[in-house]
């Protein structure tokens, strides 16, 4: 089955009791037992719920892993993964991962004795050099936000295997429609399903898939022990959103590609970052490891003032954090998502004051171009 078909027919289809074509919302906390311990596979909804189970089965199949898990947010998903580790364990983490990832590692799990070193994961030697005897995992994102830097998943998986550590990939930006880290050798893949998987700015959720059944077993233990699970209503919303992931991602990408090309031909734009452009440093690598380039673009309009002006003039781009929904969203990372990073570090990374990020939606691209044109002039 090809990915577009798998998105429609993957996992558990409908309801065998009634013939309902969509999986019902099992709004329930507990389940009747015929005798002690005799039940139909569900005992209590933190441990397992049929709607959430349908979603978990579905994402495991879509990402090609042994087991899937759904959580109340991307951060709850990551925190559960991090709870696999012990005091004194060490992690190698990408140096421009999502801000919330950085925050939970440095300000929560560090207090519990989990150590971390931050490195540029596009530099294999740096990753290898950062691995210590206590290192248990590498955590990475590709492409990153907002600079869209690409790292080689298969090469990092080789490093991880040689050193006997887990490779954990945040696949939020690419989605399983374009990129499957487990097929490239990663051990765990996770998503902020709040973004493209939900796709309609109406649900906050996180998904995790483990390649190996043993890791899946350990994850189920911590998921149930900690309890940051996704509710049945939101599980259903994700199941519904993901049915259209294929057509949405195609449109996001088509529009992003058109906008990036249009922007790169303008003399008043300092630089355009989109991995689908041949000029992008990660273009060849992303072509090797993914089937597409995604729907995120960043470009530098030159100054904070000009960025302000553009943001105040656009009509079809909503000024907001987050990404991956049907509507186009616009932001200035230096003063929004990345404001907590010290100015010097931002400059080092290349997150300039005039850098504008767009999560390109699925509106008519001609309208998106005309709107940006009037805002830039
Ligand atoms: C949003 C996001 C997260 C966090 O997910 P939430 O659903 O907001 O908790 C993690 N990683 C990336 C890349 C994100 O964009």
The answer to whether the CB of 141 is under 6 A from ligand 1 is: yes
Nearest to 139 by CA among 206, 130, 64: 130
> Catalytic: 98?
yes
For 151-155, 215-219, 324-328, 341-345, which range has the lowest pLDDT when averaged over its residues?
341-345
The answer to whether the CB of 170 is under 6 A from ligand 1 is: yes
Residue 288: partners with Cβ closer than 8 Å, 6 or more residues away: none
The pLDDT value recorded for residue 337 is: 84
The alpha carbon of 295 and the centre of ligand 1 are apart by a number of angstroms equal to 16
Nearest to 291 by CA among 81, 4, 37: 4
Is 3-243's fold the same as 245-376's?
Answer: no
The pLDDT value recorded for residue 45 is: 97
Strands (E), 198-289: 206-210, 271-273
The answer to whether the CB of 80 is under 6 A from ligand 1 is: no
The alpha carbon of 229 and the centre of ligand 1 are apart by a number of angstroms equal to 16
Q: Which residue has tokens 């209503």?
A: 233
The pLDDT value recorded for residue 345 is: 81
Mutate which of 74, 102, 181, 296 for ligand 1? The one with the most ligand atoms within 8 Å of its CB, which is 74
- In angstroms, the CA 368 to CA 366 distance is 5
Give yes or no for residue 348 having a pLDDT over 90.
no
- Cis check: omega of the bond before 323, within 30 degrees of 0: no
The pLDDT value recorded for residue 182 is: 98
Judge contact between 207 and 77, C-beta under 8 A: yes
Q: Which residue has tokens 């560090």?
A: 110
Distance of CA 293 to the CA centre of its chain: 14
Query: Which CATH architecture does the domain made up of 245-376 adopt?
Result: Alpha-Beta Complex (3.90)
The answer to whether the CB of 96 is under 6 A from ligand 1 is: no
Judge contact between 153 and 127, C-beta under 8 A: no
- Cis check: omega of the bond before 143, within 30 degrees of 0: yes
For residue 247, give both structure tokens.
């057509």
The answer to whether the CB of 198 is under 6 A from ligand 1 is: no
- In angstroms, the CA 14 to CA 252 distance is 28
Class of domain 3-243: alpha beta
The pLDDT value recorded for residue 271 is: 94
pLDDT in tens, 275-330: 999 999 999 999 999 999 999 999 999 999 999 999 999 999 999 989 999 999 99
Q: Where are the domains of the chain?
A: 3-243, 245-376
- Taking CA atoms, 98 is separated from 56, 69, 167, 240, 349, in Å, by 24, 20, 17, 26, 14
The alpha carbon of 199 and the centre of ligand 1 are apart by a number of angstroms equal to 13
The pLDDT value recorded for residue 341 is: 78
> Catalytic: 31?
no
Give the burial class of 366: count Cβ atoms within 10 A of its Cβ; 0-12 exposed, 13-18 middle, 19 or more buried: exposed
> Catalytic: 357?
no
For 37-46, 318-327, 345-354, which range has the lowest pLDDT when averaged over its residues?
345-354
- In angstroms, the CA 117 to CA 130 distance is 7
Under the banding of pLDDT at 50, 70 and 90, the label for residue 12 is very high
Return the axis-axis angle of helices 74-82 and 99-107, rounded to nearest 10°. 40
Average pLDDT over residues 52-79: 98
Given 4, 15, 31, 46, which residue is catalytic?
46
For residue 236, give both structure tokens.
């259903």
> Catalytic: 196?
no
- Taking CA atoms, 283 is separated from 125, 276, 303, 343, 352, in Å, by 21, 6, 27, 28, 22
The answer to whether the CB of 337 is under 6 A from ligand 1 is: no
Residue 295: partners with Cβ closer than 8 Å, 6 or more residues away: 196, 249, 252, 253, 255, 256, 324, 359, 360
The answer to whether the CB of 95 is under 6 A from ligand 1 is: no
Nearest to 323 by CA among 57, 118, 144: 144
Give yes or no for residue 340 having a pLDDT over 90.
no
The pLDDT value recorded for residue 10 is: 94
- The backbone torsions φ and ψ at residue 311, rounded to the nearest 5 degrees and listed phi first, read -65, -35
């Amino acid at each position: 089955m090809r990915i577009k078909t798998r998105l429609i027919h993957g996992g558990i289809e409908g309801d065998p009791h009634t013939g309902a074509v969509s999986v019902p919302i099992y709004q329930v906390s507990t389940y009747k037992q015929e005798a002690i311990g005799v039940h139909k596979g569900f005992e209590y909804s933190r441990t397992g719920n049929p709607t959430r189970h349908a979603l978990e089965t579905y994402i495991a199949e879509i990402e090609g892993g042994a087991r899937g898990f759904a959580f109340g947010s991307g951060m709850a998903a990551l925190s559960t993964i991090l709870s696999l580790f012990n005091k004194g364990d060490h992690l190698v983490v990408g140096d421009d991962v999502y801000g919330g990832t950085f925050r939970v590692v440095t300000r929560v799990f560090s207090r519990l004795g989990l150590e971390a070193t931050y490195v540029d994961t596009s530099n294999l030697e740096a990753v290898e050099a950062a691995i210590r005897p206590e290192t248990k995992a590498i955590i990475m994102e590709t492409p990153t936000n907002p600079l869209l830097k690409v790292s080689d998943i298969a090469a990092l998986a080789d490093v991880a295997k040689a050193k006997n550590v887990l490779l954990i990939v945040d696949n939020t930006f690419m989605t399983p429609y374009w990129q499957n880290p487990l097929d490239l050798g990663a051990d765990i893949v996770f998503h902020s399903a709040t973004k493209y998987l939900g796709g309609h700015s109406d649900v906050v959720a996180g998904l995790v898939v483990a390649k190996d059944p043993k890791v899946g077993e350990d994850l189920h233990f911590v998921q149930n022990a900690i309890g940051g699970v996704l509710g049945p209503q939101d599980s259903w919303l994700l199941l519904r959103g993901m049915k259209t992931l294929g057509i949405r991602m195609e449109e996001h990408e088509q529009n992003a590609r058109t906008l990036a090309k249009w922007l790169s031909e303008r003399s008043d734009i300092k630089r355009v970052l989109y991995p689908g452009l041949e000029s992008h440093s990660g273009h060849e690598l992303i072509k090797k490891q993914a089937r597409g380039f995604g729907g995120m673009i960043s470009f530098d309009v030159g100054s904070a003032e000009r960025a302000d002006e553009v943001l105040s003039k656009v009509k079809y781009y909503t000024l907001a954090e987050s990404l991956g929904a049907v509507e186009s969203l616009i932001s200035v990372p230096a003063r929004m998502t990345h404001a907590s990073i010290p100015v010097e570090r931002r400059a080092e990374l290349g997150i300039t004051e005039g850098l504008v990020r767009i999560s390109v939606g699925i509106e008519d691209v001609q309208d998106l171009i005309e709107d940006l044109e009037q805002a830039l002039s």
